Amino acid sequence: MHTHTPTTHPSQPQVRISRKRILESATKVMELYASHKVLLELEYQGEVGTGLGPTLEFYTLLSHELQRRSLHMWRTNPRPLQADGSVAVCPAEDMVGAGGDPDAYVHAPLGLFPAPMDTRQV
């Protein structure tokens, strides 16, 4: 992640992040800017374009990454079956794209609920 001040608005930091490391980039952004009241402008490394579009995309990608089962952040249920016995289509399948693993993400049609924390992790 790289930061610099844009020429368009001097008090608006511009942050360059890695598309392949969304969680790590988000952690660094929060460490640097969580205590400041600033409007961030994000751009992706190796890509052209900054502003609202890439910034909104970052938050969308981050919200998807936070739904990964491997993070153990959310209560999970087995994927529901349809009347014909096939596995129901999960909106998370849209997140992973072709060839991805839809089971890598929590499927929560009624909303996400935090998983209990292991007291040994606190």
With vertex at residue 96, the alpha carbon angle to CA 92 and CA 97, rounded to the nearest 5 degrees, is 115
What residue spans define the domains of the chain? 2-121
pTM score, two decimals? 0.69
8 Å CB contact between 62 and 23: yes
Summarised one tens digit per residue, pLDDT across range 94-108 is 555 444 676 788 878
Summarised one tens digit per residue, pLDDT across range 2-38 is 555 444 555 677 889 999 999 999 999 999 998 988 8
Largest Cα span, the chain: 59
